[in-house]
Amino acid sequence: MVLILYKKNTITKRLENLSYDHFENFNGLEINLCKDEINTIEKYYESLADKGFKQNKTEYDKKKKLIELNNLGYCYQFGIGKNKDEFKAFECYLKSAEEGNSSAQNNLGYCYQNGIGIIKNENKSFEWYLKAADKENINAQYNLGICYQNGIGTNKDDKKALEYYIKSAKGEYPIAQNLLGNYYQNGIGMEKDLEQSIYWYEKAAENGNKFAQYNLAKIYVNGENGIERDENKAFKYYKKSANQEYLDAQFELGYCYDVGIGFLNKMKAFELYEIAAKKEHKIAQHNLGNLYKKMFDSKEAIYWYTKAAENGYKIAQYDLAYCYKRGIGVAKDKVKAFQYYKKSADNDYLKAQFELGYCYDVGIGTEINKIKAFELYEVAAKKGHTIAQYKLGALYEDGKNLEKAFYWYNKAAEKRFSVAQYNLGRCYKRGKGVKKDENKAFEYYKKSADQGYLNAQFKLGYCYSKGIGTEINKTKAFELYKIAVEKGCKTALYNLGECYELGNGVNKDPVKAFECFKKSAGNGNVYSKFQLGYFYVNGIGTVVNKEKGFELYNEAAGSNIQVDFIENVEELVNDLDKVNYWYHKAAENNNGLALYKLGEFHELGMGVYENKVRAFEFYKKSADQGFIDAQYKLGYFYEKGIGTDIDIARAFELYRIAAEGGNVDAQKSLAYLYEQDEGTDKNIENAVYWYKKVVEDVQEKLDALLNNLNLINMSNYPGQNILIEYLKEQGSKSSYCGFLKFSSKFITALISPTDTCDRLDTIWFYHFLWEAKSLFNQETYVVIKNKENY
């Protein structure tokens, strides 16, 4: 859409859905039109066109004629009062521009740049912008800055671009002022200077620039680098920008009304969210859905959540998944819930990553996949998701990696997550992944119990009962057992029955004890069956019934007696490969070999999904521990850019360290880098030295190769005698490095002797040898021949 402004202002395109730090690249065309001229403009310009420009010199002064001709071009271009005709528009601009009108020169530059009425020509576009800019035309100065910045019709020159932006801004061009504010705010081409940024934003805002008004609001709403938060100013600028129909500002103003930034008004918030939502603003769509949900209009809430989700808004995708999972405003659909959790997780939304992990963990809308669950829990846990940290700890415990389990339980417990606190208490009580410490076990059970976690309340009661980490307190034990039973803890029934039976913390009450043991036995508790049988046989709390009592004894005796019924913990089998698990465990102790193996597992996809980045991380950890093979691998990853950016200099340094440690692959790679002048200065002597080291390590393979060369008939291949004689002539393992040096394929063959020797009787292999000989580098050959030791 084109906006016609008053004299000396610009015609600009309205750009919807721009974020606050975007701005228009080209301002468009400049025109001087008064509002009351529009009605009569057609006849006026027809008269002007009919009479011809030169014939009207006497009627109009030159300057006015040029302005009018420029305006006529604009009318032809956009069909204002005349049929649209871009060719005539160009002709008008050209005539006015050639006579020196700077506005027409700017407009002509725009035509050349965009192919309006003429073949596109960026060089001419730049020339006309330059002419107009030299006449202090602020629009052209801005456009010229764009040309220099982007290399349009000229070489890129950020310094000159900035120069022209500053000129245009100082000439009160609001778009340039906004851009300059952005540059100062973000340190583009200059030092960051928020005061200067605000200065230019304010200048642009005063000149009516909606983007600058929005940018100022963003600064004041959050407070930034010493600028105090000012909700009133933020509200004011959002309102000014929104009044100019800037979409993001309409949304933000709605948010201000919604949460009370500057002014609280839910109805206004609703209105503005609706305006922005209908213009496809995805966050506004989501927030509108939230308002409908609060108004108990689930149908409309689902509609707007769906719109926002389809537009890629990750929080809406998450909320929609939750609605499908719970059946809120829509029929329950676990598959759709899974699908939307996945979309949100793929958009890196933390909560969704956890929920998707949970879906894989227990099979919600998909098949159970513990590995994927583990991966997603790990991602979320490392980002600080509390429940994911707990879940990750649980998976590590199931996998018998108790140190890791303890680590993640502790991370979640630090955030006062009651279940994690309980599990941490278990770890301390039994020495799982940490040194046994009953005092700490009691401490964490209490923290969890104080938050109302049922299992912790039972365990805390047990601690008071047995004096674990605290003094024995039968009364507190009884109280906690009773609370646990009332909340549905089946295990606590036995303990409560014991309290009533023995009078621990409460008056003896055999009838209540009998009731507790009966309920507990019905739940399958072996010890309760024994106690209940005893009560029947002896008539305690009930009438004597020896037959029933003996039946319960037999039933209990045939059960699998739990080793520690109080803990009631079942050891689970690890889903991951055992070897991979043990290396993970060893890696926790910074074992270089284990870390290296982890790198291999992730590099090759053994036991886990292939992940080059993670492989790189493990190789790096191992290399940092001084593990030589890992130093070579890390160098290789740096050289090839596997899992990281290419860094030949770093690769060279790692190869050097590993080569000095005796790694043959590293020696070969180091020699190659010396030879190729990569990552270091070219040094043929050093290259030869390291190739010699390679040959020394494969001497036996070389001897076997030479013996086989004598056994095979190569008469059909020209030059074979030269090759064999050359090898024999050099004789020793030292001289052979000259040949190895320029045949990396051949070196690889030697490093894999079994594979090589299996191929010695094939034509392919001898073709290969001859090709390697033909690649021999004469410069190095001379160096080798002139040194007795090589």
**Residue 68 and residue 147 share a domain:** yes
- Flag whether 675 is in a domain: yes
Q: Domain total for the chain?
A: 3
User: What is the full DSSP assignment across 354-365?
Assistant: HHHHHHHHHTSS
Question: Residue with structure tokens 């039973």?
Answer: 485
The distance from CA 663 to its chain's CA centroid, rounded to whole angstroms, is 36
Element (H, E) at 178: helix 174-186
| Listed residues 642, 661, 682: the one ending a domain | 682
Contacts of 267 (CB under 8 A, 6+ apart): none
Mean pLDDT of 77-103: 90
Residue 302 pLDDT level (bands cut at 50, 70, 90)? very high
Question: Residue with structure tokens 């009078």?
Answer: 503
Whether 605 has a pLDDT exceeding 50, the answer reads: yes
**Residue 146 and residue 75 share a domain:** yes
Mean pLDDT of 470-485: 93
Q: Measuring CA to CA, which residue among 127, 101, 103 is closest to residue 113?
A: 127
3-class SS of residue 3: strand
**Residue 613 and residue 720 share a domain:** no
What pLDDT score was predicted for residue 30?
44
**Residue 147 and residue 12 share a domain:** yes
**Residue 605 and residue 734 share a domain:** no
- Flag whether 205 is in a domain: no
Alpha helices, H only, 187-295 = 194-206, 210-222, 231-243, 247-259, 266-278, 282-294
For 160-188, write each residue's pLDDT tens digit. Answer: 999 999 999 999 999 999 999 999 998 88
- Flag whether 503 is in a domain: no
Whether 209 has a pLDDT exceeding 50, the answer reads: yes
| Listed residues 171, 193, 227: the one ending a domain | 171
Contact 184, 192 (CB under 8 A): yes
For 527-553, write each residue's pLDDT tens digit. Answer: 787 678 778 877 889 998 878 877 776
Residue 683 to residue 384: CA distance in whole angstroms: 50
**Residue 725 and residue 596 share a domain:** no
**Residue 631 and residue 751 share a domain:** no
The distance from CA 532 to its chain's CA centroid, rounded to whole angstroms, is 59
pTM of the model: 0.56
**Residue 165 and residue 80 share a domain:** yes
Q: CB count, 10 Å around CB of 561?
A: 10
3-class SS of residue 204: helix
Residue 720 pLDDT level (bands cut at 50, 70, 90)? very low
What pLDDT score was predicted for residue 678?
82
Residue 644 pLDDT level (bands cut at 50, 70, 90)? confident
Residue 218 pLDDT level (bands cut at 50, 70, 90)? very high
Report CA Rg, the chain: 40
Residue 555 pLDDT level (bands cut at 50, 70, 90)? confident
- Flag whether 110 is in a domain: yes
- DSSP letter assigned to residue 2: E
- Flag whether 763 is in a domain: yes
**Residue 702 and residue 604 share a domain:** no
Whether 17 has a pLDDT exceeding 60, the answer reads: no
What pLDDT score was predicted for residue 32?
40
Q: Measuring CA to CA, which residue among 658, 656, 677, 526 is closest to residue 596?
A: 658
3-class SS of residue 705: helix
Q: Which long-range contacts (CB under 8 A, 24 or more apart) does 289-293 make?
A: 289/316, 289/319, 291/258, 291/266, 293/329
| CATH number of the domain bearing residue 77 | 1.25.40.10
Residue 568 pLDDT level (bands cut at 50, 70, 90)? very low
Residue 47 pLDDT level (bands cut at 50, 70, 90)? low
**Residue 776 and residue 673 share a domain:** no
Identify the weakest region by mean pLDDT among 77-91, 270-284, 566-580, 735-749: 566-580
Q: 662 lies in which domain range?
A: 578-682
Cα distances (Å, whole numbers) of residue 163 to 129, 145, 209, 587, 649 = 14, 7, 21, 56, 38
3-class SS of residue 13: strand
What pLDDT score was predicted for residue 170?
92
- Flag whether 313 is in a domain: no
What pLDDT score was predicted for residue 683?
81
Q: CB count, 10 Å around CB of 543?
A: 7
Residue 536 to residue 555: CA distance in whole angstroms: 14
**Residue 48 and residue 136 share a domain:** yes
What pLDDT score was predicted for residue 64?
82
| Listed residues 107, 138, 171: the one ending a domain | 171
User: What is the full DSSP assignment across 386-435?
Assistant: HHHHHHHHHHHHHTT-HHHHHHHHHHHHTTT-HHHHHHHHHHHHHTSSS-
Whether 778 has a pLDDT exceeding 90, the answer reads: no
Identify the weakest region by mean pLDDT among 135-149, 362-376, 588-602, 750-764: 750-764
- Flag whether 465 is in a domain: no
What pLDDT score was predicted for residue 398?
86
**Residue 606 and residue 583 share a domain:** yes
- DSSP letter assigned to residue 10: B
What pLDDT score was predicted for residue 373?
92
For 667-677, write each residue's pLDDT tens digit. Answer: 888 888 888 87
Q: What is the mean pLDDT of the chain?
A: 77
For 384-411, write each residue's pLDDT tens digit. Answer: 999 999 999 999 888 888 999 999 999 9
Residue 601 pLDDT level (bands cut at 50, 70, 90)? low
Q: Residue 781 — φ and ψ, nearest 5°?
A: -60, -45
- Flag whether 215 is in a domain: no
